[in-house]
Amino acid sequence: MIASPQTADTTPTVLALEHITKRFGTFAANDDVSLTLRRGEIVALLGENGAGKTTLMNILFGHYMPDEGRVSVEGKELPLGRPKAAIAAGVGMVHQHFTLAPNLSVLDNVMTGTESLLSWRSDRKAARAKLASIAERFGLKAEPEALVADLSVGERQRVEILKALYNDARILILDEPTAVLTPAESDSLFQTLKVMAGEGLSIIFISHKLNEVMAAADRVLVLRAGKLVAERRATETSKEELAELMVGRRVARPVRQASEAGEIVAEAAGVDVVENGVRRLSDVCFLVSAGETLGIVGVSGNGQTTLAKLLSGLARPASGTLTILGQDAGQLDARDFVAIGVARIPEDRNSEGAIGDLSLWENTILERLRDPRFARHGFVREGAARQFTDGIVKRFDVRGGGPESRTRLLSGGNMQKLIFGRNLVETPKILLAAQPTRGLDEGAIAAVHGEILAARDAGAGVVLISEDLDEVLALSDRVQAIVGGRLSPPVSADGLDARKLGLMMSGEWEAAA
Amino acid sequence: MRLERRTERSAALTLLAPVGAVVAALILSGGLIALAGANVGQAYLAILDGAFGSRLAWTETLTRTAPLILTGLAAAIAFRAKVWNIGGEGQFYLGAITAAALGSQNWLHLPAPLLIVALMAAGAVAGMVLLLVPVALRLRFGVDEVVTTLLLNFVVLLFVSMMIEGPLKDPLAFGWPQSVPIVSEAELPKLAERSRLHVGLLVALLLAILLQIMQSKTVFGLESRSVGLNPEASRFAGIPLGATLLKVACLSGGLAGLAGVIEVLGVKGYVTTDLSPGYGYAGIIVAMLANLQPLGVAAAAVFAATMFVGSDSMSRALGVPSFIADVTVAFSLLTMLVALLLSSYRIRR
């Protein structure tokens, strides 16, 4: 790894944002924010969801007009609200949601928008040479003729970065770049960023993850509720201090207490699952007892999604048996799972967990439409559903709306609280939590961990599927690794550390034992 | 300039959107009327007069409203669940020809009310089947139902043509291609003397009310909305995706088929290839104008019928081509789409 150069105060300032204020209605998303960026520097913009990080970067890139303030690049003031001017000034942005055309090749995507519409021919040869030299210089491997649709998420992000560099970006903004990446892909991204900084590029990346901020940034700017609250050199701060600055109060993740495992609530014996003709899970065996947490850890794409589906009642065993609370799961559908006491936290809140355009109360009873409390003779019992939802909103501290509000209005953390609430309010016997804290900020993570531990202490058998090693280690009593659709034998979490987990995740079960 | 999603969609805005859309469509068409050399204000007064100015006029407008409500409901119910049924026209004709074929004799010697109900059911079933096939193809093989339902319209129209030139041809029609007329017991009772207005209007209104209740109060209504909004989350919640869409297809196809039936039993008594002046397609516009709300469909259908009926007499009085009605109704779809956008987003500079 190449160390980033020390940015002495003598290095020139390439970017300055001065007194930026942006209001949406009466809400100030950015309130008098000023920041500078020097050549060759990596700055992390840290803040919780809704702190105004993305808004600030959208102003810099010209997507939003600020109500007050100015932006200058290399001493020249940037006309605001014009992305083209920002690109011309050398600002490149990599969005959280990629802006690539999947049906085009890498080269076509990179070239898009760089040539005049009126030119007779497109100079692919020159473009290819330029792309190759950029790729060479920054160590960004890319096959120019590959279709973007065939690339992995990490590779697509590389194409986004190449696209910005191809436009001669000297300032690169990355919005939550690791949100979609695996830990290994994140590491390689940060390595690339350091190479680019060494070449004189200046980088701002937005994040709410303390680990990566500490690992990759030279300087950390903390945004809270639209205001810039602190600025620290990464070498002179700690994760604890940053967490406190970000949330505005001390947050401690709850700690697991020893518990007594009770009777077996779920058992899989030799389960295979086949989806669309592809075998996703092979010979899966596990036991879950009441009052304990089984952690399933693995690099993404090793069958976690299918395992979560199996335990949610969305996929059925092709062979082998899965017994849930004494019943053969092959005979049950998703609603039966809910009815017999399985709480299910889906992997993807927005696409599976809730329907944004329905109200909160409609979302809480959607999986209980066979329950006579909420539906009778084919009619929905709105009064009962509202009351049920109101109870959840109060007990689980869901903020941002009442039972009648549209669910879309909730923040990610509050939506997750609603989903946990509708599952846990009935004291479930089994809790399946798939990637429960993905994309959540520190405060919300602590709340979610608290709920998972509370459910376990109340006697639920918990299955936690996660890619976050710290999370698995903190919450689990026993751990199994998932590799290529197979599960390792269970290992007690006591005495387990990240290194041993890493070995298990790479399939070296014996070495880790 | 960019669009920002409104955080709260106000009720007033939702109600104002269609009104604004209609006004905008009328203004836009006004330009064309002026181009045709007529006074715009006079032209719209003539349309109103032609649609409501006499007993004959308003009964005729309401007669046209009835099938538009039904085809509008068919589109609204389907679109809510994101089943893109563009085949209302075909389902209308298949319902019509089924009722005409079965109603040409009273085969089972049923009493009149029973015969009418049986013919309505038969036509509705025909429409259902015609939509079930494309939806089943989409569920099984991912075939785009926009294409299949649209193209089936032409298939059905040619089939109807074949039937009324062939096996169902009326031998007493002096060679005109029309079907054998239905027996007199199958005719729908009239709502007003000396007019074409029939009880089909009441059937359509009743269905609009029932469907409004179904959409907002029942489990099936919630399930079909969920499936339309987010199929993955619906599946996760245990809602049977395929079964729900097939049920929606039955309802939608059945309603469009029923529209064809009441047009035969209530107005014409037989089928020709110009039985529908585009009711199936106009139903799509009516549904959009109503923001897919069943009760709104009834109101939007009155607007469309007013334009269609009123423009004929306006054309006679002022010499502006009556096609202006089609233009205005089509404009109203475009302006409604803009109005819908503006009611959920705001423009920011």
A353 → chain B, closest CA residue: B233
Nearest CB to A378; choose among B220, B232, B238:
B220
**Contacting residues for A371 by C-beta, under 8 A, at least 6 apart:** A339, A365
Average pLDDT over residues B273-279: 91
Residues of chain A under the 70 pLDDT cut: 1-10, 117, 180, 182, 251, 510-513
CA dihedral sign of residues B79, B82, B88, B92: negative
Instruction: Output the pLDDT for position B7.
Output: 59
- Alpha carbons A303 and A297: distance in angstroms, whole number: 11
- Point out the residue among A64, A344, A362 whose CB comes nearest to the CB of B222: A362
A79 and A10 assigned to the same domain: yes
Chain A residues 391-450 with CB within 8 Å of chain B = 406, 409
Nearest residue of chain A to residue B4 (CA atoms): A24
Do A12 and A32 lie in one domain? The reply is: yes
A393 phi and psi angles, rounded to 5 deg: -60, -40
* Partner-chain residue, chosen from B222, B239, B349, that has the shortest CB–CB distance to A380: B222
Residues within 8 A of A (CB atoms), B 227-286 only: 229-230, 232-239
**DSSP letters of B309-327?**
HHHHHHHHHH---TTHHHH
Residues 6+ apart with CB under 8 A from B299: B290
Cβ contacts of B9 on chain A, cutoff 8 Å:
406
Q: Does B226 touch chain A (CB under 8 A)?
A: yes
Residues A314 and A444 in one domain: yes
| Per-residue model confidence (pLDDT) at position B9 | 61
Please report whether residue A234 resides in a domain: yes
Residues 6 or more apart in contact with residue B308 via CB below 8 angstroms: B64, B277, B325, B329
CB half-sphere exposure, B11, CA atoms < 13 A: 0
Residues A19 and A80 in one domain: yes
Contact assessment for residue B329 and residue B278, using Cβ atoms and an 8 Å cutoff:
no
Q: What is the DSSP letter of A113?
A: T
CA count, 13 A, side-chain hemisphere, A155: 14
The single residue listed with the structure tokens 């994140």 is A186
pLDDT at A3: 41
Compute CA distances B109 → A360, B36, B103, B116, B184, whole Å.
Answer: 55, 55, 11, 12, 12
CB contact under 8 A, A352 and B232: yes
Q: Cα A20 to the chain's mean position, in Å? A: 28
Boundaries of domain holding A112: 91-169
Domain ends where: A250, A281, A308? A250
Do A395 and A499 fall within a single domain? no
**What's the domain count of chain A?**
4
Confirm or reject contact between B111 and chain A (CB < 8 A): no
| Residue A498: predicted pLDDT | 73
Subunit contact A378:B229, Cβ cutoff 8 A:
no
Which tokens is A331 given?
């005979």
- Which pLDDT does position A330 carry in this prediction? 87
Q: For residue B238, give the nearest of A334, A406, A409 by CB distance.
A: A334
| Token pair listed for B105 | 């004799």
- Percent of chain B whose pLDDT exceeds 70: 97
pLDDT for position A63 = 83
The answer to whether residue A188 sits within a structural domain is no
The beta-carbon neighbor of A333 closest among B217, B230, B238 is B238
In a 3-state reduction of DSSP, which class is residue A481?
Answer: strand
Tell me: do A434 and A421 sit in the same domain.
Answer: no
Give the CATH number, domain containing residue A479.
3.40.50.300
Euclidean distance between the first and final Cα of chain B, in Å?
4
Exposed / middle / buried, residue A125 (Cβ in 10 Å: 0-12, 13-18, 19+) = exposed
Asked if residue A153 belongs to a domain, the reply is: yes
Q: Given CB atoms, is A305 within the 8 Å cutoff of chain B?
A: no
Distance of CA A465 to CAs A309, A354, A397, B227, Å? 11, 19, 24, 27
Distance of alpha carbon B152 from alpha carbon A328, whole angstroms: 45
For each of the domains in chain B, give its residue range(s) and CATH number, in order of start. Answer: 2-348 (1.10.3470)
Q: Do A375 and B220 touch (CB under 8 A)?
A: no
Interchain contact, A367 vs B236, CB within 8 Å? yes
Q: Within this chain, do residues A214 and A315 fall inside the same structural domain, yes or no?
A: no
Q: How far is A335 from chain B (nearest CA, A)?
A: 5
DSSP per-residue codes, A114-161: TS-TT-SS--HHHHHHHHHHHHHHHT----TTSBGGGS-HHHHHHHHH
Give a yes or no: residue A189 inside a domain. Answer: no
Task: Let me know: does A349 contact A419? Beta carbons within 8 Å.
Answer: yes
Do A75 and A214 fall into the same domain?
A: yes
Share of chain B above pLDDT 90, in %: 63
Q: Touching check for B316 and chain A: CB below 8 Å?
A: no
CA triplet A264, A265, A269: central angle to 5 degrees? 80
A366: nearest CB among B232, B237, B349: B237
A377/A451 same-domain check? no
Q: Is residue A193 a part of any domain in this protein? A: no
pLDDT above 70 (res B121): yes
Count H helices and E strands in chain A, helices first.
17, 23
Final residue belonging to a domain, choices A404, A425, A446 = A425
| Residue where one domain finishes, among candidates A425, A451, A474 | A425
Q: Which of the residues A368, A380, A382, A411 would you substitute to probe the B interface, choosing the one with the greatest number of B C-beta atoms within 10 Å?
A: A380
Q: How far is CA A252 from the centre of its chain?
A: 20
B11/A contact by beta carbon, under 8 A:
no
Does A355 contact B230 at a Cβ distance shorter than 8 Å?
A: yes
Query: Looking at residues B274-303, what average pLDDT do you find?
Result: 92
Identify the closest residue of chain B to A405 by CA–CA distance.
B8
Nearest CA in chain B to A336: B238
- The answer to whether A333 contacts B348, with C-beta atoms less than 8 Å apart, is no
- Do A419 and A431 lie in one domain? The reply is no
Instruction: Give pLDDT, residue A4.
Output: 43
User: Would you state the pLDDT for residue B259?
Assistant: 97
Beta-bridge mates of residue B218: A379
In a domain, A135, yes or no: yes
Is B234 in contact with A356 (Cβ distance < 8 A)? no
CB contact under 8 A, B230 and A378: no
Q: Identify whether residues A68 and A112 lie together within a single domain.
A: no
What single string gives the DSSP state of each residue in A338-402? HHHTEEEE-S-IIIII--TTSBHHHHHHGGGTT-TTTEETTEE-HHHHHHHHHHHHHHTT--S--
Partners of residue B7 in chain A, C-beta under 8 Å: 409
How close is the nearest chain A Cα to the Cα of B271, in Å?
38
Residue A308 at interface with chain B, using a CB cutoff of 8 Å: no
Interface test with A, best of B219, B247, B340, B344 (most A CBs within 10 A): B219
Domain contains A118: yes
Residue in chain B nearest A404 by alpha carbon: B8
Q: Which pLDDT value is given to residue A387?
A: 93
Task: Please provide residue B326's backbone torsions phi and psi, each rounded to the nearest 5 degrees.
Answer: -60, -40
Interstrand relation of A486-487 and B2-5 (parallel, antiparallel or unpaired): unpaired
A382 to chain B: nearest residue by CA? Answer: B217
Question: Quick one: which of A291, A304, A294 has its CA closest to A478?
Answer: A294
CA distance A104 to chain B (A): 23
Residue A354: inside a domain, yes or no? no
In chain B, which among 142-201 make CB contacts under 8 A with chain A? none
Interface check for A88 against chain B (CB to CB < 8 A): the answer is no
**How many angstroms away from the CA of A106 is the closest CA of chain B?**
28
Question: Domain check: are A246 and A268 in the same one?
Answer: no
- Chain B contact for A346 (CB, 8 A cutoff): yes
Q: What is the pLDDT of residue B4?
A: 67
- Amino acid present at B317: A
Looking at residue A150, what is its pLDDT? 82
Identify which of B69, B1, B76 has the alpha carbon closest to the alpha carbon of residue B291.
Answer: B76
B202 touches chain A (CB under 8 A): no
Secondary structure class of A482 (helix, strand, coil): strand
Tens digits of residue pLDDT in B124-149: 999 999 999 999 999 999 999 999 99
DSSP secondary-structure letter at B266?
Answer: I
CA distance linking residue B200 with residue B188, whole number of Å: 7
